[in-house]
A and B are shown apart, each in its own frame.
Chain A
Amino acid sequence: MSFPWAKEYTPKVPLMKWLDDRLPLPRFVYNAVGGGYPVPRNLNFFWNFGVLSGLALVIQIVTGIIMAMHYGANDAVAFWTVEHTMRDVNAGWLMRYAHANGASFFFIVVYLHIFRGLYFGSYKAPREMIWLLGLVIFLLMMATAFMGYVLPWGQMSYWGAKVITGLFGAIPVVGEPIQTWLLGGFAPGNAALNRFFSLHYLLPFVIAAVVILHIWALHIPGSSNPTGVEVKGPQDTVPFHPYYTAKDGFGAGVFFIAFAIMVYFAPNFLGHPDNYIEANPLSTPAHIVPEWYFWPFYAILRAFTVDFFFIPAKLLGVLAMFASILLLFFLPWLDTSPVRSGRYRPLFRKFYWILLLDVLVLGYCGGAPAEEPFVMISQVAAAYYFAHFLIILPLIAAYEKPLPLPGSITEAVLAKHGETAAPAAVPAE
């Protein structure tokens, strides 16, 4: 779909016309990310992170495929082959550091993308499907990242695998058989390492497929924008190319600069030193922590310390951790306010910033040892997390008085520049 004023693809050279009649791939690209996709003209830099997430996925696939050429998925040699890549493969150190830090950067840009959607109400009708598919991508990313972290077969790889698959062991009755079935044994070993490698290679391509659905769903209603007011006419939009390709090009440059600083000058800053110790089933690390991007969820997992009658605390923690992500699938129906953008929602905005702070506090506690006072802090923070989405947001939607919305995107843009729109330029909806 597109807006009626979207430019149509017109092949100029005979070859492209010949191709267009038989396989309209250039037309498809033109309508997806070219001049044929009209985009609101008022997007701010927070709208760069979708393209940057796609870029991060490409970096991970390219560096990952190259590393797989030098990797041996066998518990006897895995650690050794990773060191071999680091020392003896041409630019192997670059591929590995880019891949390890690339995972972190993928999560950084995706978290910014998600929090942009939360602030500007991008999950609301008619864009629910984009939000749901985005969450599917997020879940797939988490599974992929977890399995990827196991592959170097260091201490954190091994014990992380043990802890995370142990979560399934918390399920009553069938939990332990499921855990054994998932691992292919009673503890992580060669069977687990092999299947994790196989799935770690597969899932990025599943992610790529869901990304295509995500973008397809985006092109039905078109992109949202910071005002949250829908596009009303041609004056509200600019073609994706060259306007947003240029803006994304600049955004990609900034992304690459930040990425290069980490990869070349602090490649181990985001990693854990214990993963440079080879996996040893007989020696448990003092503090088992996942990678930083899982810390908020890890904090929620560990926040449950008291049994609820017949439900053990461990199972509650597991349920809460999964619930903390699954509840986001219901967000479009929990926040019923017709106003999308946080700019025009004074009460929502205050709670939004509290949520952001809350997630950062959860993240900090998730990375800290499971000791007091961190457990108590994560209990309060996790309580707020659930209350925010499940109780507070629906109430705000019911009671908040939103600020007046601008009549159109163009009106908002011109108001910013101290001008007023000619009323005739805004056709009726």
Chain B
Amino acid sequence: MVRIGAFLVGLFFSGWLLVSFLFGAVAYVSDPPAPTAEKEFHLVPRHVAFSFDGPLGHYDKQQLQRGFQVFKEVCSACHSLKFVAFRDLEALGYNEAEVKAIAKGWAIKTPDVDPATGEASSRDPVPADHFPKPFANDVAARAANNNAVPPDLSLMAKARHHGPAYIYSLLTGFQDQPADLIAKFPDSKTPEGLHYNPYFANLNLAMAPPLTAEGQVTYAEGQPKPTVDQMSQDVAAFLTWAAEPKMETRKSAGFAVLLFLIIATGLAYMSYRNIWADEKH
């Protein structure tokens, strides 16, 4: 009984799947899926070498500071960094007083409540505060940004495939729409107010090119020239740190743990061999 029932169920599912396959195959051959502009012109991020790549990689504090400077002077006008606190910046090599000064001088103020009247007010951020958001809410953000909310950047480096390389490629990837794209897909012309970028999923994004000219941010003495390429790499590195601040701890702990495990497993292997020495198996 079980086997007859199973045979019938199997015949039904397998048979209908093969029928579905035939339907699909006929449709695929007679009416192949139409090419789309996204499919043909979207690019995977360009490869960049970062100091934090690989199991031995470390953050380059100089680069993180430069990236932070780019974030502060360019990105933070529209993008929040809500999961990062000013105090976290000590990991970039700033001392306590410098962090205090950075927080105090931050262009956007932290919302607060007036202790006397209870009315909404704002104050200078302190190191314990998270980075204040540039817009009070999403409605305000949309109103100021062509109906698109600038996403929070705290986790951007982990929230996209190839995170840091994606950020770098996107920032350096703004260009005019290729002529052959418009020739092949006349309906895919970049709409008014959007900007063509082959690294963006649907090729057109609301953000205008944020880094446009060499020297847009002035780097300190002794630092590399602030080309668009350099600034993009630096801010990609900074955002990787913002998304994964414990990476260095994680990797160094990993080496200690692996060393211990390899020794322990070696001992376990020897005792296994020892115990089984006179048992054939």
Contact = CB atoms under 8 A, between A and B. Distances in A.
A268 B33 contact: no
Contacts of B218: none
Contact of B83 (A83, A261, A264): A83
Nearest to A41: B281
Interface residues of B, number: 58
A414 B280 CA distance: 7
B261 A373 contact: no
Nearest to B242: A87
Contacts of A242: 275
Contacts of B49: none
A316 B54 CA distance: 46
A386 B19 CA distance: 14
A306 B19 contact: yes
Nearest to B10: A390
Interface string B249-268: 11101110110011011001
15 contacts: A87-B88, A253-B268, A256-B265, A260-B258, A261-B254, A264-B250, A264-B253, A268-B158, A276-B243, A334-B6, A372-B33, A376-B21, A376-B24, A383-B15, A390-B6
B251 A265 contact: yes
A16 interface: no
A327 B21 contact: no
B25 A376 contact: yes
A242 to B, nearest CB: 5
Interface stretch (B103-111, B159-167, B192-200): B159-167
B147 interface: no
Contact of B9 (A246, A303, A323, A376): A323
A253 B269 CA distance: 9
A267 to B, nearest CB: 7
A93 B250 contact: yes
Given A305-B23, A372-B24, A330 B159 contact: no
A304 interface: yes
B3 A304 contact: no
Interface of A: 41-43, 80, 83, 86-87, 93-94, 97, 238, 242-243, 246-247, 249-250, 252-254, 256-257, 260-261, 263-265, 267-268, 273-274, 276-278, 286, 303-306, 308, 313, 316, 320, 323, 327, 330, 333-334, 336, 371-373, 375-376, 379-380, 382-384, 386-387, 389-391, 394, 413-414, 416-417
A323 B14 CA distance: 12
B11 to A, nearest CB: 7
Contact of B268 (A246, A303, A327, A384): A246
Nearest to A259: B261
Contacts of B272: 246-247, 249-250
Contact of B28 (A87, A304, A372): A372
A41 to B, nearest CB: 5
Given A305-B20, A383-B17, 12 more contacts: A86-B246, A87-B83, A253-B261, A264-B253, A264-B254, A276-B159, A277-B159, A303-B17, A323-B9, A334-B2, A383-B21, A394-B6
B269 A306 contact: no
Interface string B146-163: 000001101100111101
Given A246-B272, A247-B276, A376-B28, A323 B13 contact: yes
B18 A379 contact: yes
Contacts of A94: 250, 253
A378 to B, nearest CB: 9
B246 A391 contact: no
Contact of A87 (B6, B158, B246, B276): B246
A394 B271 contact: no
A304 B279 contact: no
A87 B10 contact: no
Interface string B47-63: 00000000100000000
B17 A379 contact: yes
A41 B14 contact: no
A376 B151 CA distance: 37
Nearest to B245: A87
Given A256-B261, A265-B251, A386-B14, A305 B268 contact: no
A143 to B, nearest CB: 23
B163 to A, nearest CB: 7
A267 B249 CA distance: 13
Interface string B224-250: 000000000000000000010110011
Interface string B126-160: 00000000000000000000000001101100111
Nearest to B27: A372
Contact of A303 (B20, B83, B251): B20
B8 to A, nearest CB: 9
B104 to A, nearest CB: 22
A257 B21 contact: no
Nearest to B157: A276
A413 B276 CA distance: 14
A250 B268 contact: yes
B6 A254 contact: no
A259 to B, nearest CB: 9
A83 to B, nearest CB: 5
B201 interface: yes
Given A83-B83, A94-B253, A253 B264 contact: yes
A382 B13 CA distance: 9
Contacts of B2: 330, 333-334
Nearest to A238: B279
A337 to B, nearest CB: 13
A383 B279 contact: no
B16 interface: yes
A5 B10 CA distance: 45
Contacts of A390: 6-7, 9-11, 13-14
B90 to A, nearest CB: 13
A41 B279 CA distance: 8
Given A250-B269, A273-B158, A333-B2, A306 B16 contact: yes
Nearest to A384: B14
B17 A382 contact: yes
A330 B11 CA distance: 16
Instruction: List the 4 closest A-B pairs by CB distance, nearest first.
Output: A264-B254, A390-B10, A253-B265, A276-B159
The listed residue with most A CB atoms (<10 A of its CB), out of B33, B159, B243, B251, is: B159
Contacts of A333: 2-3
Contacts of A263: 254
